[in-house]
C-alpha cells in the first residue's frame, strides 16, 4: 500500500533540491512543455526565485516493498518580502497585469511591511501515476471498464492526497513566516478544485497566456483558515511526516 510523507526541503540540502529540480524538469519540460528544454540542458528546472523560496516535497513509499522512497510531488513559496528578488518583483507581477485596485493593494502590502508570498511550481510526477495506474490497467486479461473506473478514481485520490499534503506544508510554513496573503497563477480548474476543499482564491486580473491560459489570484490566509475549521479541518493539521524547522 503506497503511503506519503511531506517535508520542508532546505535550500542547502543539495541532493534533495536536485531531485526537486529534476521532478520539475520532468513535469514542466518533458510532460507539459511549459519550459524550453534548451534552457535546462542539465535536466534540472530551476530559476532565480528558488533561493528566495521555501520548498516542499511529497515522498511516496511502500512499507511492504524494498523500493527506496522517492519524491513524487513538490511546490514552493516565493517570499514576497525577500531582498534581491529578480527585478524586485514576484513572477506574478511580471507575467500577469493586475486590475488597477489590485496593483494598489500589492503596493500597500509592501509599503506597510505585511508579509505575503507567491505559491508556484506545483508539480506531481506523471511517472508515479502511470506506474501505479497503468500497471493495474494493463495487467487485466480482458478490458474491464469497472477496473478502469476504479483505477481512475484511485488516481484522483492519489492526486488529491498529494495536493492536500503540499497545501498543509504551505499553511504550516505560512504560520512560521507570519504570512497574510498568498498570490498564485493557475488554471481555473485548479482553483475550482481547491475551492471544493475550502481554499478560496480571488481573481485579481484577466486570464493571460502563461504556461497555458492562467488567471492571477490572491488568497487571504487568515480568512481561509477560519473557514477550514468547518469546511476542511485537515488543512489546519500538520502533514504526515512534518517536522519543525528546528528539528
Helix residue ranges, H only, the chain: 14-25, 91-95, 100-111, 126-138, 145-177, 188-197, 221-231
Q: Is the dihedral of CA 179, 82, 213, 58 positive or negative?
A: negative
- Tell me the CA end-to-end span of the chain in Å, nearest whole number: 28
pLDDT score at 151? 54
The answer to whether residues 111 and 82 touch, using CB atoms and an 8 Å cutoff, is: no
Domains of the chain by residue range: 3-236
pLDDT score at 194? 87
At 99, is the secondary structure helix, strand, or coil? Answer: coil
pLDDT means per 10 residues, the chain with 247 residues, are 91 95 91 78 91 96 87 96 93 93 94 96 75 43 52 63 92 97 91 88 93 90 96 94 69
Count CB atoms within 10 A of the CB of residue 101. 8
- CATH class for the region spanning 3-236: alpha beta
Q: Which of 67, 174, 218, 50 is nearest to 131 (CA)?
A: 67
pLDDT score at 38? 82
Q: CA–CA separation, 65 vs 62, rounded Å?
A: 5
Residue count of the chain, please give it. 247
pLDDT score at 1? 74
Per-residue pLDDT tens digits for 26-39: 988 888 777 777 87
pLDDT score at 197? 85
To 10 degrees, the CA torsion angle through 160, 31, 213, 228?
A: 20
Query: Model pTM?
Result: 0.86
Q: CA–CA separation, 109 vs 88, rounded Å?
A: 14
pLDDT score at 74? 96
Amino acid at each position: 500500500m503506497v503511503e506519503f510523507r511531506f517535508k520542508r526541503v532546505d535550500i542547502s540540502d543539495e541532493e534533495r533540491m536536485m531531485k526537486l529540480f529534476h521532478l520539475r524538469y520532468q513535469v514542466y519540460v518533458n510532460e507539459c512543455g511549459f519550459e524550453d528544454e534548451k534552457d535546462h540542458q542539465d535536466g534540472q528546472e530551476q530559476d532565480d526565485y528558488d533561493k528566495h523560496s521555501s520548498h516542499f516535497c511529497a515522498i511516496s513509499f511502500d512499507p511492504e516493498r524494498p523500493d527506496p522512497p522517492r519524491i513524487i510531488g513538490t511546490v514552493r513559496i516565493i517570499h514576497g518580502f525577500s531582498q534581491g528578488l529578480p527585478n524586485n518583483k514576484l513572477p506574478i507581477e511580471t507575467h500577469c497585469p493586475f486590475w488597477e485596485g489590485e496593483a494598489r493593494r500589492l503596493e500597500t502590502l509592501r509599503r506597510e511591511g505585511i508579509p505575503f508570498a507567491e505559491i508556484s511550481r506545483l508539480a506531481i510526477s506523471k511517472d508515479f501515476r502511470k506506474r501505479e495506474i497503468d500497471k493495474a490497467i494493463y495487467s487485466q486479461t480482458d478490458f474491464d471498464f469497472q477496473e478502469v473506473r476504479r483505477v481512475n478514481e484511485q488516481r484522483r485520490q492519489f492526486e488529491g492526497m498529494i495536493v492536500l499534503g503540499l497545501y498543509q506544508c504551505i499553511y504550516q510554513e505560512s504560520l512560521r513566516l507570519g504570512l497574510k496573503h498568498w498570490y498564485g497563477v493557475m488554471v481555473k480548474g485548479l482553483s475550482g478544485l481547491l475551492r471544493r476543499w475550502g481554499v478560496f482564491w480571488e481573481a485579481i486580473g484577466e486570464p493571460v497566456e502563461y504556461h497555458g491560459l492562467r488567471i492571477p489570484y490572491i488568497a487571504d490566509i487568515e480568512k481561509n483558515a477560519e473557514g477550514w475549521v468547518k469546511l476542511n479541518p485537515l488543512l489546519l493539521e500538520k502533514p504526515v511526516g512534518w517536522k519543525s524547522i528546528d528539528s
